[in-house]
Structure 1
């Protein structure tokens, strides 16, 4: 077995070994406040276009309810809790995985058209205990304790009808906005995240790239929902031994301010017509492969909304930290999957290992989806 395979396996074992310490959520925390009638359901769930606060808690669940009635009861309870009043800037987003539409609950005919289990892409080493899930709960809040408390409460609400499959907390270093008002953060590789994202304030662009429309096929209940991709990506410590010039060539941006190489500022409009040979931005740079900035790739743009994670050190003493990559799109195949295949073999692959995550669908309204289950 090659040294590369051994190193990657050791890296994976270190990441997967931490699941025992965080998969069980003990206790519960009340959201507090007087009982109130939930406001009218929004057209879309929060936590997609909402500016991301500093902290998050993600958990995927396997549904173990005995039948469709039990599943409907579970979704009813989660939907009511998600719609209850919460602290300012706290959002709860509920999503469903492909496994929910297997033979257990008679939902095969209601599966969103583009929903499937996330496959392993080149350079992935997916661990089952960190991948997939029938349900995904995303809680985002200004404080980590608040996100954890609400997730613990939702876990208690689920009771014996669902069990945690994987769980991970996230945070956004230097969380803020760029010069144009788009959310931005700095990842644990030291580079700014968020540049080049579609503008979540642009309704027409969100309708075109994020929200499922009437001409996308699939059951009618999916209109106004979106597909969510989550990728758990561990960063390799060897990155920190590379000179900054090498790091910038791999990413395609300056490390200090996020400006594309050869350009003056992070938000400067640019394309690659004047740099066909990669003299400024290498042809295999991450940003160039992710978004070639030509009309034919415009439809594959995705809305990224990720968080960093940190789990301490593994058995070998290596830092277990990286990125909870999150993106939303109208169609996974046209969006994330196309981008991911375009980046296959990029130099960045040497420094990252995707070990988990999954594909999910965010219903426009969890309560309406719960009602569908009783139809």
Structure 2
């Protein structure tokens, strides 16, 4: 994943960059998103800024490093093999080096090393817990339209239809603190069993549950991560986000610099991530993590199969209109 800034200040350079990106990523799994700074006036995009796109603030417990935050463009390359991801990244860098300069980058990985009982692939973070439980069903188009995709005819600029808001959070783990805890304590902090991801007191990772029968937190603590993130009340259904995290390890001189690249997608940053993040303030997990970078972005609507189309064309066309 790489965040980049434009070295040029003319709209033609933005268009050329989008076209070059599209050519370089043909046949690859790449997500291209733009940050709020792209709409700062350099390119005449001010009136076209996605309405809910701003600069990611520092939340409680954050220690944000400005050198590892924000950016005009975010490019995420995914591949089954790290070598393939590196080759695509190099191709992208070569295709856009004329117009873009690097801001920050980080490499991540997902070890999909187990499966749920219904056969879905699962993965574990570097704290050893299964990641992604409770995500909205991506195979439900109606739900995705409600929670993830910007819809035609909404209060957003017309060009944004089919796009989505992306949040990236770079989160450093404190493995020495975490490893010193018993498994029972770790499970209390998260609210799930380490073995199979079941909510404490229940069987099965996807077992439906609510907290009405546990109002004082005797089974799942009131400051447990899963309870704070999603209180599972009817009014909080609208706050669900589509999460996809990657682990990272870096810095040879300090091999314990490791953690999570938290990524989520939603139709509305305030209704989604920001609301969830405020609920997490004071969670027991805060002792073991340190968010230090990332940002808010808007994922460009995917190109159609029409000749001449490319990711970003809808924005460029809207600017010309």
- TM score, norm. by length of structure 2: 0.93
2-side partners of 1:226 and 1:369: how far apart? 13
State whether residues 167 and 264 of structure 2, in contact with CA within 8 Å, keep that contact through their aligned partners in structure 1. yes
Tell me which of 231, 238, 243 is aligned to 1:299.
238
Equivalent in the alignment of 1:66: 9
Tell me which of 276, 286, 297 is aligned to 1:339.
276
Cα displacement (A) at 1:174: 3.1
| 1:148 has 2:86 as partner | yes
- Number of residue equivalences: 311
Equivalent in the alignment of 1:348: 285
Tell me which of 287, 290, 302 is aligned to 2:229.
290
Equivalent in the alignment of 1:53: none
Which SS does the other structure have where 1:233 is aligned? strand
Cα displacement (A) at 1:183: 4.7
Post-superposition Cα deviations, 1:69-96, rounded to whole Å, max 9, x if no partner, equal 11111111112222x2x3xxx4111111
2-side partners of 1:198 and 1:183: how far apart? 15
Q: Using the TM superposition, name which of 176-185 and 120-129 deviates more.
A: 176-185
Tell me which of 202, 220, 229 is aligned to 1:281.
220
State whether residues 232 and 355 of structure 1, in contact with CA within 8 Å, keep that contact through their aligned partners in structure 2. yes
Gaps of 5+ in 2: 304-309
1-side partners of 2:217 and 2:252: how far apart? 37
1:113-132 equivalences under 5 Å are 113-132=51-70
- TM score, norm. by length of structure 1: 0.80
Equivalent in the alignment of 2:299: 362
Which SS does the other structure have where 1:171 is aligned? coil
State whether residues 65 and 293 of structure 2, in contact with CA within 8 Å, keep that contact through their aligned partners in structure 1. yes
Q: 1:173 and 1:127, CA in 2 relative to 1: closer, same or farther beyond 3 A?
A: same
Equivalent in the alignment of 2:29: 91
1-side partners of 2:141 and 2:281: how far apart? 32
2-side partners of 1:280 and 1:70: how far apart? 57
State whether residues 61 and 135 of structure 1, in contact with CA within 8 Å, keep that contact through their aligned partners in structure 2. yes
Which SS does the other structure have where 1:169 is aligned? coil
| 1:163 has 2:106 as partner | no
Which SS does the other structure have where 2:4 is aligned? strand
Cα displacement (A) at 1:149: 1.1
Post-superposition Cα deviations, 1:161-182, rounded to whole Å, max 9, x if no partner, equal 0011111111112345433455
1:1-375 equivalences under 5 Å are 58-82=1-25, 84=26, 86=27, 90-175=28-113, 177-180=115-118, 182-237=120-175, 238-312=177-251, 317=254, 319-365=256-302, 367=310, 369-370=312-313, 372-373=315-316, 375=320
Across the aligned residues of Structure 1 and Structure 2, the Cα RMSD in angstroms comes to: 1.5
1-side partners of 2:89 and 2:182: how far apart? 40
State whether residues 313 and 319 of structure 1, in contact with CA within 8 Å, keep that contact through their aligned partners in structure 2. no
Post-superposition Cα deviations, 1:87-133, rounded to whole Å, max 9, x if no partner, equal xxx41111111000001111011101111111110011111111101
Cα displacement (A) at 1:194: 1.0
Cα displacement (A) at 1:312: 4.1
State whether residues 221 and 369 of structure 1, in contact with CA within 8 Å, keep that contact through their aligned partners in structure 2. no
1-side partners of 2:83 and 2:276: how far apart? 34
Q: 1:313 and 1:350, CA in 2 relative to 1: closer, same or farther beyond 3 A?
A: farther
